[in-house]
Structure 1
């Protein structure tokens, strides 16, 4: 399915992105669900897939984590099934992510899909990330409040909610409508009938994640082994004192590691391309030989990127799933990062280089790219 998003991106970014929530009526005209409720329920039965059931019965919230063996115990009202990173397990749903590539790939997280019966929802809450919620089959009422400090509470140990709020948006969404919500705006949605919702989320790392990730990189590569030195050690009145200049020098030692461009770029490329959820990797059996890759591409076969695989570029360097892809063929590397579906023309003369073919075969044999059926 080729989803066409009716959105003026420059206007949207100027007026709404990380600023205000907005309903985009008919963002997708004639919207067709890429997955059925039964298929979604089947995915939630798989142990590798992250899923939740949330219900609200007799004033009590309940949440359980998959995999699920049966849904026979559920009634006809007041529950939702939520499945994370469906784009990594169900190829047709990955197409729903592509219209949002007007925003940087490195900020995109995953596609969460929910099926809800009448009254189903997860209660009033807020998120620390941007999200586009696409209405599929059915109707759902959404309320969004102003971004103000709100008290959070846990009606269930795994469910964080906020207190009731006054709505600045209160609308019923129909198939193809999109609700955009920036971080920090409280919201709640309740199904009016059996409905499907598709949430395209955008991840923003916090400082704790960045520092932790960079520290791991430094330790793995044994960087920063130089020690503090003070040949001109300053006298002090009290031996217990640590002087401001000494703190500055210690902080400078740490910042020097971060401020080294090559190290920082290498680390961030590896860090930001690591999958946040398990990938549906299925290496081909038997593995492809480089000449088989060459023949297939020359005959017009197409390579498709695995759903959820993060392929990003920093300068001339391309990273995929936590690793740098080494090759001198910059246009071919650019094609790997820019295109979801590739043909032989995208690689150009690089296909005539045995070393590039060997590298490409290794990527295909890792399950990162596969030939389109």
Structure 2
């Protein structure tokens, strides 16, 4: 199904993006759920899928992690089932991400879906990333507070909740309504009836994550092996002293590694194109031969991108799930990055190049693209 978002993106970005929370009434007109509660519950029973059950009974919060074998022990109130990265595992749900491509692909993370019974929720909390929460079936009440320093506490180790707050938004959301919340605004939602919610989350790497990822890249590539030298080591009054110019030289050694544009771009493309959650990769059996790919495309078959696969472009370079794709056929690479579904015309004369066909076959045989059934 195609979802159409009724949103003026330039106006939204100017007024709200990373600035203020807002309720977008009927953001999706005539909204239809892409998944049922039973399908969601089935996904949460799979080993590869990240899921949680959160309940609040007698003033106590409880969290259990999937995979789940049964739900027979659950009452009719005060619990929520949350499943992460559903766009990786359920193709109809992945379609819900596409209207948000008005924002950069590299910033979009994944789709979390929750099913909640009356009273179900995860308590007052705040996130360090942007999120659009789409209301599906049912009704849910949401409160959002002002962005002020708030004390976090842990009624349960898996729930980083905050103290009660005064709401600047307090509304019931109905199917198709969307609540946008920037980072740092405390919020709380609880269901008024059985309901589905869809959270489109955005990636916001911390400096710590970036340094850690770059350090791993340096070690893997055996970069930075040049050692510190000081042929004109300066005299000093105290042997224990590290002189300012020595501190500067050491810092410059470290900065020099990041100030190599080609290496930095290669690392960034590999790092930022990797998914944080497992992909539902199913390599075809038997593998496709390049000429079979060619024939299928010429006959009008379409290649669809695997849900959750990150395909990103930096300059002329295209990265797929942590790997750079090498080819001189730039328009065809741009098509790979820009389109969720590909036809023969997207590739142009690149299909006549055996090396490009071999690369495309390798991507399909990795399970990253597949022919639509």
| Band the TM-score falls in, shorter-chain normalisation | over 0.9
Q: Could you tell me which residue of structure 1 aligns to residue 66 of structure 2?
A: 66
How much does 1:157 deviate?
1.6
In the TM superposition, residue 30 of structure 1 has moved relative to its aligned partner by 0.1
CA–CA separation in structure 1 for the residues paired with 2:221 and 2:68:
41
Q: 1:170-319 to 2 correspondence within 5 Å?
A: 170-319=170-319
| 314-323 or 224-233, larger mean C-alpha shift | 224-233
Alignment correspondent of 1:38: 38
Shift of 1:178: 0.2
Q: CA deviation at 1:230?
A: 1.0
Corresponding residue pairs, total: 373
Q: Give the superposition deviation at 1:173.
A: 0.2
Tell me, in whole angstroms, the C-alpha distance in 2 between the residues paired with 1:26 and 1:327: 43
Match of 1:21? 21
For 2:9 and 2:233, the matched residues in 1 are separated by: 57
Counterpart Cα distance in 1 of 2:265 and 2:339: 22
1:355 alignment partner, SS class: helix
The equivalent of 1:75 in structure 2 is 75
Which residue in the other structure is 1:150 paired with? 150
How many Å apart are 1:88 and its aligned residue?
Answer: 0.1
Per-residue deviation at 1:22? 0.2
Residue 53 of structure 2: aligned partner = 53
- Gapped regions of structure 2 (runs ≥ 5): none
In the other structure, the counterpart of 2:129 is: 129
For 2:35 and 2:297, the matched residues in 1 are separated by 30
Deviation at 1:113, TM superposition (A): 0.1
Tell me the CA shift for residue 232 of structure 1: 1.7
Describe the superposition over 1:31-63 as per-residue Cα deviations: whole angstroms up to 9, x where unpaired.
Answer: 000000000000000010000000001111100
Q: Separation in 1 of the partners of 2:259 and 2:31?
A: 47
In structure 2, what is the equivalent of residue 320 of structure 1?
320
CA shift for structure 1 position 96: 0.2
Q: Deviations over 1:115-161 (max 9, x none)?
A: 00000000000000000000000000000000000001111121110
Q: Distance in 2 between matches of 1:10 and 1:231?
A: 57
Q: Give the secondary-structure state (helix, strand or coil) at the position aligned to 2:2.
A: coil
In 2, Cα distance between equivalents of 1:211 and 1:58: 43
Cα distance in 2, alignment partners of residues 218 and 25 from structure 1: 48
What TM-score, normalized by structure 1, do the two folds share? 1.00
Separation (CA, whole Å) in 2 of partners of 1:235 and 1:25: 71
Return the alpha-carbon distance in structure 2 between the equivalents of residues 73 and 227 of structure 1.
62
1:224 CA drift (Å): 1.1
For residue 279 of structure 1, report the CA deviation from its aligned partner. Answer: 0.4
State the alpha-carbon separation in 1 of the partners of residues 287 and 110 from structure 2. 29
SS in structure 2 opposite 1:96? Answer: helix
Provide the rounded CA distance (Å) in 1 between the counterparts of 2:50 and 2:219. 31
TM-score by length of 2: 1.00
- Stretches (4+) displaced over 4 A: none
Counterpart CA distance in 2 for 1:210 and 1:263 is 14
Cα root mean square deviation, aligned: 0.4
